[in-house]
Structure 1
Amino acid sequence: GNLLDNAFEASLRTQEGDKTIELFLSDEGDEVVIEVADQGCGVPEALREKIFEQGVSTRTDEPGEHGIGLYLIASYVGRCGGVITLEDNDPCGTLFSLFLPKVKKNDDRTINPIDR
């Protein structure tokens, strides 16, 4: 929900683009891909390197905003052995992509299904 909530909020904070939020799911090969794209206000360049850190938010001016959502998502994705990326969405907005392995490799090189 957090990525979709963020996309919705970002689309309301700009006059550019449309208010469409796109969700793409793919289950091909060794990973599952989840992408959320909006045409909202985007993520400022200065925040891109640290947007997945705890306490970092694009909405610092809003009361009750803690900057925990993307941090929790990135932590979970990393725990699963996956990757989350952030890109510009043409003509405006943001594209978040999550790449999650279908199986998790252990330190001893054996492979187990992802812990649930």
Structure 2
Amino acid sequence: MRTQEGDKTVELFLSDEGDEVVIEVADQGCGVPEALREKIFEQGVSTRTDEPGEHGIGLYLIASYVGRCGGVITLEDNDPCGTLFSLFLPKVKKNDDRTINPIDR
């Protein structure tokens, strides 16, 4: 991905960990400041405070879907810069009749 600061990469890792699937997304962005880490998954919260327009919906939606699946999402620093998001999702068997309804808006 080309940005004003130069080329950036986003890496995606998938792993099978027994009863769950782990999806990790690592970027080389500005990272998430310590002050925002507890609330970055809330609707309307964003690290993009200097850009016009509405922000703060993407991580909220992902965290909502992950939670509805019975999973967990975490974040940590990605060396040397950026953030590593890890999603831990329980596996569902093919004959499982559970469904996930869309988020009410």
* Class of the TM-score when normalised by the shorter of the 2 chains: 0.7 to 0.9
Q: Which moved more, 1:82-91 or 1:19-28?
A: 19-28
Matched residues in 2 for 1:114 and 1:37: separation? Answer: 26
Question: What is the number of equivalent residue pairs in this alignment?
Answer: 105
In structure 1, the gaps of 5 or more residues are: 1-11
SS at match of 2:96: coil
Give the TM-score taking structure 2 as reference length.
0.78
**Cα displacement string for residues 48-68 of structure 1 (whole angstroms, at most 9, x for unaligned residues):** 110000110111222222311
Give the TM-score taking structure 1 as reference length.
0.71
Matched residues in 2 for 1:103 and 1:113: separation? Answer: 18
Q: Compute the RMSD of aligned alpha carbons.
A: 5.3
In structure 2, the gaps of 5 or more residues are: none
**Cα displacement string for residues 20-70 of structure 1 (whole angstroms, at most 9, x for unaligned residues):** 221101123111111010122111111011000011011122222231110
Task: Identify the structure with the greater helix proportion.
Answer: 1
Against the structure 1 CA distance between its residues 102 and 91, is the aligned structure 2 distance closer, same or farther, given a 3 Å change threshold? same
Q: Which moved more, 1:92-101 or 1:64-73?
A: 64-73
Number of the residue aligned with 1:103? 92
